[in-house]
Amino acid sequence: MTDHHVTGLILAGGRGGRMGGIDKGLVNLKGLTLVHHTLKRLQMQEGLQFKEIMIVANRNIDTYETLGVQVWSDNTPTFEGPLAGFQTGLEKCKTSLLLTVPCDSPFFPLNLADRMRSALIAEDAEIAIAATRDPDGRTQPHSVFCLMKCSLLFSLQEFMGRGERKVSAWTALHKTISVPFQMTGATQAAFLNANTPEDLSRLESLA
């Protein structure tokens, strides 16, 4: 890895089971879809400009394409989870690094990409995962906020070829670091995602 250029990938290929099976990326929040909020957040990142931003989606492809970025399906017969999106992103990535974010967490930190890249380079790691600490001091990883070397494609293809689907089991095979983000009152929604209608209501109240 010599150039440290980054491609951004929005993960919008989930089944939305806890939201009644709806396409979460297209849920409205304050007049814009969640995926639109997420795309804007990536475009506003401080200290880093993405070479490209892509979306992985398995439904409503035409609607996602109206956002003006490349949209890919994860080419799996059923909803296979975040790793399927990771794999598609790595297959399409033309830079040395890929940063993934979920479509339903629209308020992630504006320094996310820069801090993740800086930490990965400093530690000579292969994967960096964002994390927060709860009031008791316990670390909570947010594994879909993940920066990875694009050279890991073959590893992920092999892993998924064995029927494995757990993100932590794959990242454990590589030099993976945790990048802590301090949670304050102003950033309490930074990694909150809309898994349920209640979560969406909370996002609306904090927007």
Model confidence pLDDT, tens digit, residues 164-197 = 989 999 999 999 999 999 776 556 678 988 888 8
Taking the C-alpha atoms of residue 10 and residue 26, their distance in angstroms, rounded to an integer, is 13
- Show the domains of the chain with their CATH numbers: 6-206 (3.90.550.10)
State pTM to two decimals. 0.92
Span 49-58, average pLDDT: 95
Span 87-115, average pLDDT: 95
- What is the three-state SS of 4-46? CCEEEEEEECCCCHHHCCCCHHHCEECCEEHHHHHHHHHHCCC
Per-residue confidence at 1, pLDDT binned at 50, 70, 90? Answer: very low
Span 88-117, average pLDDT: 96
Span 78-107, average pLDDT: 93
- DSSP helix/strand/coil, 102: strand
Model confidence pLDDT, tens digit, residues 57-86 = 999 999 999 999 999 998 776 667 899 999
Give me the percent of the chain exceeding a pLDDT of 90: 69
The torsion angles phi and psi of 13, rounded to 5 degrees, stand at: -105, 10
How close are the terminal C-alpha atoms of the chain, in Å? Answer: 38
Question: Which tokens in the block code for residue 184?
Answer: 């304050």
